[in-house]
Structure 1
Amino acid sequence: MYFRHCCKVKFIGALNEKLTVAQNEYIASIPFWWFPMLKQSLKISRNVLSQLCIKWVERRGGFDVGGEVVDFSLLDVCLGLGLRVVGEKIDLNEEVVERISEFLLANKKGCVFPVIFKLVDDMENIGKYNWGTLVYEYLVFSLCSASLALQNEPSRFEFYVVGCAYLLELWSFDHLVVYQSKFKCKMNLFPRLLYWMNVSVGDKVMKTAFDYDMAIVDVAVSKEELDHAIVREAFEHFGIEYKTQDLKDKEELERLVEHHEA
């Protein structure tokens, strides 16, 4: 059984080596300012896709680790890739064209959605969109499809996960691998991709991390990360949503208790 992905940085890394100072300065002003720092050798562990596809719990939006579902959330995307998760929604429901798409919206055909070209042409407004949410939803849809195929087609030989599969690697680092003492560190680089892509983590270490069946449920945010507006915005927005949901859950519980006692 093989789990494959299409998330690569080979061409991005090669292009980054040819960028001029002026081009780097221009890219620094857009939401993808960290792209020139990507290397050609970015590695995704062979254990990550298989383990997380098996552990994915669609109805809960997370992974089953030791009997507890640990969220895979928009906050993971914001911290991991440094993309905004609050803002105007991007609709991909258009016919695709044949172009290279290696990292954020990677797929088997190497296609890019035409609407993306329209959005990036308007550089003055490129920052108003929730790019992180787009990347998240595209990947989660693929996770759900792979998980469903695992259940319905147990004899199937090959499974594909499209989208930014490296996000799953980042999730595993933050929630699982940091249990390994030698990886305990202060997260002072944003996005976290810039830290983890320089840390060598072998397939054996990743497998061991999954075998422990233990995870960090809530990943702490560093002061350096909170200095970024999109991180503060994400936590302020989702913090209110979570508190509201918690309040609704509490009210529903109290209502059920009162009804039972009556």
Structure 2
Amino acid sequence: MRIKNTMTNINKLIAYNNTDKLSTAQKDRLLQTPFKWVVDMKDNIKVSGILLDEMLSRWDSVTHGFRVGGKTVAFTPVDVCFALGLQTVGITVPLQDKSDCHVKSLFNGKDITVDSMLEKLKDLNREEDVEDFCKVYILFALFALYFPRKSTNVCNVPFSLLDDLNMLDTYNWGQAVYDFLVDSITKAATTYAQGGAAGQEITLSGCSAVLQAVLPQQRILFAQNEELRERIFRLEEGLKLLREEGGSGKIQEDKKRCQQLVNRLFETCTSEDKMDL
């Protein structure tokens, strides 16, 4: 069974950041919104399929956390706040927004897709329309980063809220991103628990990249690997003793080699187990 995420489109917005560059006026305006973090994104986001697989198998839909070592590590809106810089107070975000609004009118009644948003950004950039440019830019971010889903057409995004950028700070975006992701994790974990054919795919909507920032990857991937855990614990215990003993040249060299070996164990295992989707 393969776990797919829906975050591939955000890399197109990151590519826009790198190639087309935001003007000073555009960047200054975006920095006045809750989504200021997006303007500085330069590196592609990659989500580990192996990590998602492991985390789905450990999801507790009752407590909203991950079962690790006999305990449950809670996943909360505060985690989203730290990972994405979004506030967790304010008015509830109306994701089911089907009302007509100015942002929709910019696309002249046509389907709103990733490609049409990119084209509209280029058009508005040429026209030097900073306000409308920022509205479409945030629309892209909402669809590709904060509330990504399998659909190719933009939907389940609060279009009308973008008509007034000055009001965006009054909404609880952190809670909205959290609720959307938790709902998707719970559905995907239920399907995962039921099992399926080897080639079956489970799609995880929402900002799944947050999960990589919340839990240290090795804490999940190595939780059942007793042999590796014991090797690492022995090395770390030896490193602790060396620290306590002092600082002769040989001890310092041993400390360095020991730490390098610990780091190498983690780096080797994570790089072999990682699958970018």
Coarse TM-score class (shorter-chain normalised): 0.5 to 0.7
Please say if residues 218 and 270 of structure 2, whose CA atoms lie closer than 8 Å, have aligned partners that are also in contact: no
- For structure 1, the 5+ residue unaligned runs are 182-200, 209-262
Return the alpha-carbon distance in structure 1 between the equivalents of residues 39 and 59 of structure 2: 32
Paired position in structure 1 for 2:12: 11
Distance apart, 1:153 and its partner CA: 3.9
Return the alpha-carbon distance in structure 2 between the equivalents of residues 42 and 16 of structure 1: 13
Query: In the alignment, which of 150, 167, 171 is matched to residue 210 of structure 2?
Result: 167
Q: Verify: 1:204 aligned to 2:247, yes or no.
A: no
Query: In the alignment, which of 140, 147, 154 is matched to residue 189 of structure 2?
Result: 147
Q: Which has the higher contact order (CA 8 A, sep 6+)?
A: 2
Percent identity, please.
27
Describe how 1:28-67 pairs up with structure 2 within 5 A. 28-67=31-70
Larger mean CA deviation between 32-41 and 160-169 belongs to 32-41
> Which structure is larger by alpha-carbon Rg, 1 or 2?
2
Distance apart, 1:43 and its partner CA: 1.7
Distance apart, 1:10 and its partner CA: 1.7
Give the 3 Å change call, closer, same or farther, for CA 176–153 of structure 1 in structure 2: closer
Larger mean CA deviation between 123-132 and 147-156 belongs to 147-156
Give the total of aligned pairs: 189
Give the 3 Å change call, closer, same or farther, for CA 121–95 of structure 1 in structure 2: closer
Q: Which amino acid aligns with 1:3?
A: I
Please say if residues 97 and 159 of structure 2, whose CA atoms lie closer than 8 Å, have aligned partners that are also in contact: no
Return the alpha-carbon distance in structure 1 between the equivalents of residues 210 and 268 of structure 2: 16
TM-score, normalised with respect to structure 1: 0.64
- For structure 2, the 5+ residue unaligned runs are 100-110, 115-142, 223-231, 237-265
SS class of match (2:169): helix
SS class of match (2:146): coil
SS class of match (2:66): strand
Q: Which amino acid aligns with 1:16?
A: N
Please say if residues 184 and 204 of structure 2, whose CA atoms lie closer than 8 Å, have aligned partners that are also in contact: yes
Distance apart, 1:93 and its partner CA: 2.5
1:137-178 CA distance string (max 9 Å, x none):
11111100011112234436211100101011111239948x
When you count helix as a share of all residues, which structure comes out higher? 2
Please say if residues 88 and 174 of structure 2, whose CA atoms lie closer than 8 Å, have aligned partners that are also in contact: yes
Distance apart, 1:11 and its partner CA: 1.3
Query: In the alignment, which of 83, 90, 99 is matched to residue 113 of structure 2?
Result: 99
Paired position in structure 2 for 1:125: 167
Q: CA RMSD in A?
A: 3.0
SS class of match (1:70): strand
Distance apart, 1:60 and its partner CA: 0.8
Return the alpha-carbon distance in structure 1 between the equivalents of residues 156 and 188 of structure 2: 26
Q: Verify: 1:77 aligned to 2:142, yes or no.
A: no
Q: Which amino acid aligns with 1:204?
A: C
Distance apart, 1:46 and its partner CA: 2.4
Q: Which amino acid aligns with 2:155?
A: F
SS class of match (2:145): coil
SS class of match (1:3): strand
Give the 3 Å change call, closer, same or farther, for CA 203–43 of structure 1 in structure 2: farther
Q: Which amino acid aligns with 2:45?
A: L
TM-score, normalised with respect to structure 2: 0.61
Return the alpha-carbon distance in structure 2 between the equivalents of residues 203 and 57 of structure 1: 29
SS class of match (1:90): coil
Paired position in structure 2 for 1:226: none
Paired position in structure 1 for 2:28: 25
